Amino acid sequence: MSEPSTELQLLREWDADTPPLTDAARARARFRLHQAMLTPNTLAPASAAVRRRPVLRMAVAGVAAAAVATSVVIAANDDSSPRTQPVSATTVLHGAATEERRLEKPIAPRDDQFIYTKEIIKETPTKGGRTRTYVDESWNSVDGSKKSYVSELGRKQWVPVFAPGQGTWPPTKWTELEQLPTDPRKLVITLRDMGGKPDYSKPMKAADWPMTQVFVSGLLRAPVLPKGLRSAAYEALAAVPGIKVLPHQKDADGRAGVGIQYVGRSGTPWAKGGPVLVFDPKTYRYLGMHDRRTAGGTTYEQWTYIAASAVVDRVMQRP
C-alpha cells in the first residue's frame, strides 16, 4: 500500500486544539493540497489505494464552470415506456437529499464503538477480461481511540489509533461530525475553512471551490453520518460549480441510473472527469459509484456500493 503524500499526511495530523488558521495559512494549506493533487503519485491513492479511513477517500468529482442540464431517460410516472426530459444536477442531488431524509435512521454511536461496513467492489479490465468481485468488511473506530480493522480489495490490515491531537478533515470522529452544520450553505463554508472558526460572512470564491468540493465529496464517502448531514452534503454538492449529469449509467448490479460527475478545466486533476456517483433515475436514491483505477499497468472499470453498515461494539462483530 502506497504511503500518503507529505501534504496529505500533514492534513491527516491536523490538530483541532490549535488556534484557528489565519486566511493566509488557509490559503497556503489549500495551495499545497492542490499541488499535491496535481502530482501523479498522489492521484493514485484517490482511485486505487487507501480507502478506509472513510473520509480520506476524497476523490469523487472535479471542478468546472456551471451545473449542466442534460436529457436523461427516466421512467414515466405510469411505469410504462420511458420518456426523455431534461434533468439537472441540482434536481438529482436535491432529490437524493429528499430521499435520504425519508430513509435515514438516526443513530448515536458511543466513542468506544465501531462503524461496520460491508462494501462490494466489482472491477473489469478496460481491455477485456473476467470481472472480479471483492467483499470488503471493515470496522472503524468511532473516535479513533481504538485500532480499526479494514479491508481494501481483499487486503486486510489494522489501522493504528489516532495520536493525541491527530484527526482528519473532514472529521471522522462522531462528536466532530455532529458539530458540522446541516445547512448546506454553512456546511460548504465550514468545510472550506478547514477546522477554523467558520466565517459565514465571507462568500465563496472561485478558488475556494476545488478543495471545498473535495471535502464535501469526502464527507459523502463516510458510510454513516449524523442525522441530516448526508442530505445537507448532497445539497452542498449541488451548489458546486461544474457538477454535471451523465445519462445511461449503470450501478454495480447493472441497473440503469443517472450519474453525477465533476469535469474540470484543462490542466486540472479533473480535466477528464472524476468518479461518477450513480443514482436511481426515478427516486434519486444513491446506488453506488463508478470509477477507474490503474494498477500494474492495467486499467480497471470499477463499481462499488455499500451493502451494509451498522454500529457494533467490537471488531469482527457483524450486525
Map 22-83 to HEC letters.
CHHHHHHHHHHHHHHHHCHHHHHHHHCCCCCCHHHCCCCCCCCCCCEEEEEEECCCCCCCCE
Q: What is the CA radius of gyration of the chain?
A: 19
| CA gap 74, 76 in Å, rounded | 6
Q: Please check whether residue 317 lies inside any domain of the structure.
A: no
Q: How many CA atoms lie within 13 A of 313 on its CB side?
A: 0
Which DSSP string do the residues of 137-153 spell out, in sequence order?
EEEEESSS-S-EEEEET
Q: Please check whether residue 318 lies inside any domain of the structure.
A: no
Q: Please check whether residue 225 lies inside any domain of the structure.
A: yes
Q: Which pLDDT score, from 0 to 100, does residue 69 have?
A: 31
Q: Please check whether residue 113 lies inside any domain of the structure.
A: yes
Q: Please check whether residue 319 lies inside any domain of the structure.
A: no
Query: Which cell is 261 given?
Result: 460527475
Q: Which pLDDT score, from 0 to 100, does residue 86 have?
A: 62
Per-residue pLDDT of the chain (319 residues; tens, 9 = 90+): 444 443 344 444 444 444 444 444 444 444 444 434 433 333 333 333 333 333 333 223 222 222 333 333 333 333 433 444 568 999 999 999 999 999 998 888 999 999 999 999 999 999 999 999 999 999 999 998 999 999 999 999 999 998 887 778 999 889 999 999 999 999 999 999 988 899 999 999 988 887 888 899 889 888 899 999 999 999 999 998 888 999 999 988 888 999 998 777 777 777 787 889 999 999 999 999 999 999 999 999 999 999 999 999 999 999 9
**Domain range enclosing 289:** 6-312
**Helix%, strand%, coil% for the chain, nearest 5:** 25, 30, 45
| DSSP β-ladder status, 256-262 and 276-279 | antiparallel
The length of the chain in residues reads 319
Q: Please check whether residue 15 lies inside any domain of the structure.
A: yes
Phi, psi of 165 (to 5 degrees): 80, -5
Model-wide pTM > 0.75: no
- Burial zone of 49 (CB within 10 Å; 0-12 exposed, 13-18 middle, 19+ buried): middle
Q: Please check whether residue 189 lies inside any domain of the structure.
A: yes
288, 264, 267: which is closest to 276 by C-alpha? 288
| CA gap 191, 167 in Å, rounded | 14
Provide the number of structural domains found in the chain: 1
Phi, psi of 54 (to 5 degrees): -50, -40
Q: Please, are residues 288 and 303 in contact by the beta-carbon 8 Å criterion?
A: yes
Q: Please check whether residue 308 lies inside any domain of the structure.
A: yes
